[in-house]
Amino acid sequence: MRIASAASAFPKHYYSQKFLLERLRDYWGDRLRNPQLLARLHRNVTVDGRYLAIPTEEYPAIKTWGEANDIWIKVAQELGERALCLALHHSRIQPSEVGALFFTTVTGVASPSIDAMLINRMKLPANIRRTPIFGLGCVAGAAGIARAADYVRAYPSQAAALVSVELCSLTLQREDLSVANLISSGLFADGAAAVVVTGEGLESREREISGPRILATRSIFYPDTEDMMGWNVSEKGFRIVLSTEVPNLIRENLGRDVDAFLADNGYSRRDLKNYVLHTGGPKVLQASEAALGLHNGELDASWASLRKVGNLSSASVLVVLEDVMKNRRPEPGTLGLLAAMGPGFCSELLLLEW
């Protein structure tokens, strides 16, 4: 099994963090009792700029969750199609060879789900197996690749595609002035990404698939932590739940879990030379570095993605993967770890060989 390609797609509306801070001050107006706190929180997330689904001047006109979700459905189709088209093109996999399509999001809902709409838009095979995934949040990019790997293990002559679309800006709550929502307003952003995973049967044909091999995967659930991250859902939409304990949970568990995962596959942490981690935010990345004993820029790709486009929830780790595959590719034979964490609370680990 290999990750044959990864590709991202973004809306055309990109704004600097300074500009977005000014617009948010206007958006909240007199409700914002402490503008200096908002400015400090935005500085602390170390994001330089972000893409948004629609122009900033159109957000104040959104009055209901339904209106926001209608925009989400429209933009999600456009970005999802663009990302998947690019991923298929880069992988040299024909649409007819894709046996399964996984779609993940945590920022909007649709029935039929976006994957069904993509099948119609892109004329994908009518017998493709669909798996829409909702609610995994940031961990879903890694989990989606793992589920795609499960599929091609069972059907090695096929490929599986994962599409992630997250339009976090459409979840912003005007009435919520909690610190969690203020942080969210400066950290999360909009974008999409797609990955193609190929089975061994496709690799043996006359084509070059040079992406990393997936050697093993592991899902880890941390009991009784569901209050740490997620949404409170009401008639107004999605209200962010974001505990300050998340970095501590990562420090306490990630290193141990990675060590156990590696040991079960005959390796240790010193064998890892490459890391692809989701961009959860500065405190999450710092906690990950501490938990894994990383002190020499091993997470530079994640930090760079955070600065450039912010946290894209489930798409984040896929955007980091794309950067590594295109611009930071390790030497052949290098062992690497792809990992993400999210609501549950849970983590997903993939052992890669480049």
Closest by Cα among 218, 244, 216 to 229: 244
Within a domain: residue 254?
yes
Closest by Cα among 197, 199, 194, 121 to 158: 199
The residue to which tokens 């298929």 are assigned: 88
**% of the chain exceeding 90 in pLDDT:** 88
Q: Are 261 and 349 in contact (CB under 8 A)?
A: yes
pLDDT band at 341 (very low <50, low <70, confident <90, very high): very high
Strands 98-105 and 237-242: unpaired
Dihedral (CA of 288, 16, 185, 34) sign: positive
**Does residue 275 share a domain with residue 182?**
no
Q: For the residues 47-56, what does the mean pLDDT come to?
A: 97
Rounded Cα–Cα distance for residues 301 and 319 (Å): 9
**Domain span at residue 234?**
213-353
**Does residue 217 share a domain with residue 161?**
no
Letter for the amino acid at 221? F
Provide the 8-state DSSP code for 212. P
Rounded Cα–Cα distance for residues 240 and 36 (Å): 21
CA separation (Å) from 81 to 284, 285, 334?
30, 30, 32
CA separation (Å) from 52 to 11, 71, 290, 335, 352?
6, 12, 32, 35, 32
Mean pLDDT for the chain overall: 95
Within a domain: residue 208?
no
Within a domain: residue 176?
yes
**Does residue 190 share a domain with residue 153?**
yes
Q: State phi, psi for 237 to the nearest 5 degrees.
A: 115, -145
Alpha-carbon radius of gyration of the chain? 19
**Does residue 285 share a domain with residue 180?**
no
Within a domain: residue 185?
yes
**Does residue 326 share a domain with residue 259?**
yes
Within a domain: residue 308?
yes
Instruction: State the DSSP string of 11-26.
Output: -SEEEEHHHHHHHHHH
pLDDT, position 30: 86
**Does residue 124 share a domain with residue 187?**
yes
Secondary element (H or E) of residue 283: helix 282-292
CA separation (Å) from 304 to 49, 100, 200?
12, 31, 33
**Does residue 153 share a domain with residue 217?**
no
**Does residue 225 share a domain with residue 127?**
no
pLDDT, position 165: 98
pLDDT band at 234 (very low <50, low <70, confident <90, very high): confident
Rounded Cα–Cα distance for residues 43 and 201 (Å): 49
CATH number at residue 346: 3.40.47.10
- How wide is the angle at C-alpha 305 spanned by C-alphas 104 and 229, nearest 5°? 50
Counting the structural domains of the chain, the total is 2
Domain boundary among the residues 203, 229, 263 is at: 203
**Does residue 178 share a domain with residue 156?**
yes
Query: What pTM did the predictor assign?
Result: 0.94
**Does residue 197 share a domain with residue 54?**
yes
Q: How far is it between the farthest Cα atoms of the chain?
A: 64
Within a domain: residue 335?
yes
pLDDT band at 207 (very low <50, low <70, confident <90, very high): low
**Does residue 230 share a domain with residue 314?**
yes
How many CB atoms are located within 10 Å of the residue 123 CB? Answer: 8
**Does residue 332 share a domain with residue 188?**
no
Domain boundary among the residues 183, 203, 223 is at: 203
Within a domain: residue 246?
yes
Within a domain: residue 224?
yes
pLDDT band at 236 (very low <50, low <70, confident <90, very high): confident
Is 138 annotated as catalytic?
yes
Domain boundary among the residues 147, 179, 203 is at: 203
